[in-house]
Amino acid sequence: MANDPRFPAGFLWGAATSAHQVEGGNRRNDWWRFEQRPGVVRGGRGSGDACGHYGRFDADFALAAADGHNAHRLSLEWSRIEPDRGRIDACAVAHYHDVFASLKRHRIVPVVTLHHFTNPLWIADAGGWESRATVDRYADFVRFCAREFGGEVDWWCTVNEPEVFAFRGWSEGIWPPGVRDDSRALEVIANQLEAHGRAFHVLHAEDRADADGDGIAARVGFAKHYVQLEALRAWHPLDRLQALLERRVFVEAIEQATSEGVVDLSIPGAKRVKRVLPELEGALDYYGLNYYTRWRVRSLAAVPHVATPGALLNDLGWEVWPDGLRRALLAAGRFGKPVLVTENGVADAHDTIRPGALLAFAGAMHAAIAQGVDVRGYLHWSLLDNFEWSDGWHGRFGLYAVDPGDPALTRTRRRSAEVLARLARANAITDAVREAAAH
């Protein structure tokens, strides 16, 4: 494998998106409401019409298919499907059936996320993810989706980045609901993990239809934000201790929850959360890995995370460190489950860094496979420039550029799209890929 430039047969290549970031007009969720508060979104422009993907999905999938993508990750917007508690919107359901039909026509396998940061207003107003009742409501939603869409979907992703969701919304307070309380953030992580465990069993019980004919009706995982955390000053005991504590809560505790069925979350100054949840033990068919960057941790500082001094940075100031992907894959591979790269990308409006980075990320993935990790696919974040939460439209992650100020929302192909297309078509790192990355 090490000298063979190919990826395993059947490798999934594609892009990842989430509903609120691309669809436009998601007015009935808590993010839309939050965006109306002055000052919460960088640059002041909210999601608005986003990329207009709700109406243009078919043309967007045609672009992906023309680029050789054979997989696509998207999320189902809960607030569209169930805008009020217990009321299913038939038009929204029909819409997502059209989405899956379009993907099928384009020979693209869907990887479907059931919770990607947004909540229906009725969920948010009933206590949101601080309330364990939300776990029940979410399980009902998952049951509905499994029954309704199980014939079109095999790859399910229960929750996206539970730890990012919790810390941004309940610790830093920069996402809805805008709370700053570490103890509440830990409760939210625990509830999301519990929800994952519930969803895992619901999906296996309810989705019995094998959509792609490979003999497996449901593959269930979650998407973990795998951030590399290292001491800024390797010699400094407090930097090392802080990095260790953060790795523990941000990475290891999440992994432990699904491998051992024990949720055990603590950070200094916050109330520890411990739950024994047998339904979580082994509740993972694949490890969904979202990898972007490494942060250097410094103790006793107002800004505790900084990029490695002198490193190559993306437009959001995140270090571009491809070997971190190889290391994350090796770490994820320890659990003995297949790994799917559910996100990886670079915020790079001018597409100067991304083409080379894409090649380097592919190399890192290839090396991890050569080292024995069962990697099943790579979903680049993202197909289109999209609404980057509190960073607004500042982080441009798309293989295709989209300007939210352009009434036509034109898609403009970036060179990176060609790099990924060549990788996908060859299922290998070829000279043609290197050439596209180098120009």
Residues 109-148, mask of contacts with ligand IFM (x by CB under 6 A): ----------------------------------------
Choosing from 78, 141, 381, 393, the residue that interacts with ligand IFM (CB under 6 A) is 381
Is 161 a binder of ligand IFM (CB under 6 A)?
A: yes
User: Judged by CB under 6 A, how many residues of this single chain contact ligand IFM?
Assistant: 7
In whole angstroms, how far apart are CA 201 and each of 147, 158, 197?
A: 13, 11, 7
Q: Residue 371 Cβ, how far from ligand IFM at the closest point, in Å? A: 25
Match 């992580």 to its residue by tokens.
Answer: 189
Dist. CA 47–CA 271, nearest whole Å: 35
Q: Which residues of 316-340 are buried (b: 16+ CB within 10 A; e: fewer)?
A: bebbbbbebbbbbbebbbeeebbbb
Q: Residue 241 Cβ, how far from ligand IFM at the closest point, in Å? A: 27
Chain positions 174 to 203 lying near ligand IFM, rule: CB under 6 A, are none
Is 418 a binder of ligand IFM (CB under 6 A)?
A: no
- The nearer residue to ligand IFM, 196 or 422, going by C-beta atoms, is 196
DSSP single-letter state for residue 222 = E
How far does CA 351 lie from the centroid of its chain?
A: 21
H or E segment to which residue 304 belongs: none
Choosing from 187, 239, 343, 348, the residue that interacts with ligand IFM (CB under 6 A) is 343
In whole angstroms, how far apart are CA 83 and each of 109, 196, 341, 407?
A: 27, 22, 31, 28
- The nearer residue to ligand IFM, 7 or 387, going by C-beta atoms, is 387
- The nearer residue to ligand IFM, 148 or 161, going by C-beta atoms, is 161
Task: Give the alpha-carbon dihedral of 16, 123, 44, 314, to 10 degrees.
Answer: -30
The answer to whether the bond into 38 is cis (omega within 30° of 0) is no
Is 82 a binder of ligand IFM (CB under 6 A)?
A: no
Is 18 a binder of ligand IFM (CB under 6 A)?
A: yes
Closest CA to 309 of 58, 288, 317: 317
Is 388 a binder of ligand IFM (CB under 6 A)?
A: yes
Dist. CA 286–CA 328, nearest whole Å: 14
Entry field: residues in the chain: 439
Is 290 a binder of ligand IFM (CB under 6 A)?
A: yes
Is 293 a binder of ligand IFM (CB under 6 A)?
A: no
- The nearer residue to ligand IFM, 161 or 285, going by C-beta atoms, is 161
Q: Residue 381 Cβ, how far from ligand IFM at the closest point, in Å? A: 5
- The nearer residue to ligand IFM, 242 or 290, going by C-beta atoms, is 290
Is 26 a binder of ligand IFM (CB under 6 A)?
A: no
Residues that bind ligand IFM (CB under 6 A): 18, 21, 161, 290, 343, 381, 388
